[in-house]
Chain A
């Protein structure tokens, strides 16, 4: 079975203080100095599929895993990492750098679905939010464009008895839904406790991956010219920073006991009564 996982590399916002947020006249926020990381939901998606592929291979299915991202060269390091942990193909769809794709999940999903149609994957797995736009829509739009069923907030996926089905666990309004679904399908990962983090490659795996080739595909090769990548859905008018923070009063004290006593006497006593 051919499976694709679509992922996004994002700037690690955890590293930024509240004051680091500035943008230019085109409303671009310079993130070049910030460490980049896998979006956490995508990381779960990538690990979940590695586990699923083991199960499928155990019953003699041949499984072909593709990791796919729409990014510039900065994505290559992460693609190599994915080849090291077991992805057979690492694909980067590259577009003209001057195009603003931050708030354009429609175009991202066009690029992804074109690639999937071309390569014939039967299962597409994505994360559910994150990144600059925090659009949260790419997975749904990929499903629409492929005309496939879509399950959101997936927490796990395992092999089913029938080879053309998968068992999918997802969260839905105060319950967990366990469904046996016929392929093809799009799965959108939520918080997965079974696969919260991506595995770490061994040194040997890393060295082997170095020799492997990444696949770089341009939007033109996918039949979408630069004009087709413009955002015709919404126009960004302005960005706003956070409102100024509160002026936090720091409680001094030589020991934790002193600090706790002050906190209680000055602030909590009346609030807790």
Chain B
């Protein structure tokens, strides 16, 4: 079976996307006769490449004229598949990967599946594992028709390195591309810079149990004093109590800090998938039966603001103690 990894060089999360694909390759790559990298680029031809966890047989660098138009990528992919047929195409976990996997499979009469966590080859058919029922269950499917187009599941942040590949077979593909006639005007408004939430060691995630913006603001302050990044559940973000780039969960960020404090969140499947690989989870909830306690190492049944305000005080007192004993040692050495 021939496989190709389809990625876009200019995306801000390329190294993370490759990490996610690598996890899947680790389980299946022995079943492939060849693995190619199909890398789209916009202006500058790539000179550095993300580290892929299996040997590549070929790198195709594909110039795309309109990086915002999925149709441009699709036309190029259909063309390439005509020239160099591939059995399995792996796409990134983001919206772009999901769109391309779905639409390409449709155009080529293949099968597609998104958020794939694992895949294996059994008697020439591809089996995949993916979450269903709002991340409460996992399902195993056999995909019926090749080419198989998969987008991989999001994983906690662990970007791979970029290297300068000494590579024998590398070709550049430039093709005429029709401009999307339906787009009359485009303007890009850049998002605020990244928060540092995805790779933080300490995160405080707050849910609707905080009840209102004022309390959320107080909790943001507490996060700040204890040196934690601030994350939020969907209702907190949708009520505009926190920014969208703070959203944790299936439709937000997947994080794995060393220590995660989840306060006032109920812990539904779609939320919990976002924090469950954290090193240590502390849950604070007023309801002792809340689902969040099922993924927590330590739980406190109590009010989010009361417990966190006290915790802030304790941490500040301890910090003061440490600072003054540090000062004392320094004084003695003078």
Contact = CB atoms under 8 A, between A and B. Distances in A.
Given A172-B68, A271-B258, A248 B189 contact: no
B268 A13 contact: yes
Contacts of A204: none
B186 A178 contact: yes
Contacts of A177: 68, 186-189
Contact of A246 (B12, B71, B238, B294): B294
Contacts of A191: 234, 237-238, 244, 247, 251
A102 B133 CA distance: 10
A190 B186 CA distance: 19
Contacts of A17: 289, 291
A160 to B, nearest CB: 8
B202 A256 contact: no
Nearest to A140: B102
A88 interface: no
A177 B95 CA distance: 14
B106 A144 contact: yes
Contacts of A251: 298-300
A223 B315 CA distance: 67
A239 B141 CA distance: 9
B289 A239 contact: no
A144 B107 contact: yes
B41 interface: no
A269 B318 contact: yes
A133 B139 CA distance: 9
Contacts of B300: 250-251, 253, 259, 263
A233 B308 CA distance: 50
B282 A240 contact: no
B99 A150 contact: yes
Nearest to A261: B314
Given A144-B106, A193-B244, A249-B297, A263 B282 contact: yes
A21 B132 CA distance: 12
B259 A268 contact: yes
Contacts of A144: 103, 106-107
B144 A239 contact: no
B112 A137 contact: yes
A163 interface: no
Interface in B103-122: 103, 106-107, 111-115
A145 B282 CA distance: 47
B200 interface: no
Interface in A247-273: 248-251, 253, 255-257, 259-261, 263-264, 267-269, 271-272
B189 A176 contact: yes
What is the interface of chain B mostly: helix, strand, loop, or mixed?
mixed
B291 A180 contact: no
A172 B183 CA distance: 16
A132 B133 contact: yes
A64 interface: no
B103 A235 contact: no
| Contact-residue bracket for chain B | 35 or more
Contacts of B299: 248-251
Contacts of B172: none
B141 A236 contact: yes
B169 interface: no
B214 interface: no
Of B137, B143, B194, the most chain A CB neighbours within 10 A belong to B137
Q: Which of B96, B114, B240 has the most chain A CB atoms closer than 10 A to its own CB? A: B114
A149 B186 CA distance: 15
B280 interface: yes
A271 B313 CA distance: 17
Interface string A9-20: 010011011100
Nearest to A250: B299
A162 B184 CA distance: 10
Nearest to B322: A273
A69 interface: no
B266 interface: yes
Contact of A133 (B132, B194, B310): B132
B137 A21 contact: yes
Contact of B144 (A173, A190, A234, A240): A234
Contacts of B294: 18, 245-246, 248
A225 interface: no
A54 interface: no
Interface of B: 11-13, 68, 70-71, 94-96, 98-99, 102-103, 106-107, 111-115, 127, 130-145, 180-191, 194, 202, 226-227, 234, 237-240, 244, 247, 250-251, 258-259, 266, 268-270, 280-283, 288-289, 291, 293-303, 306-311, 313-315, 318
Given A149-B183, A190-B95, 13 more contacts: A141-B103, A152-B70, A165-B184, A173-B96, A177-B186, A180-B184, A193-B240, A239-B138, A239-B139, A250-B288, A256-B302, A263-B282, A272-B259
* Pairs of residues from A and B, 5 with the lowest C-beta to C-beta distance, nearest first: A245-B294, A260-B310, A256-B306, A196-B238, A180-B185
24 contacts: A16-B136, A29-B137, A129-B250, A143-B103, A144-B106, A150-B99, A152-B99, A172-B96, A179-B187, A185-B182, A190-B251, A191-B251, A232-B145, A233-B145, A235-B141, A236-B141, A237-B139, A240-B137, A240-B140, A242-B136, A256-B306, A259-B300, A260-B314, A272-B202
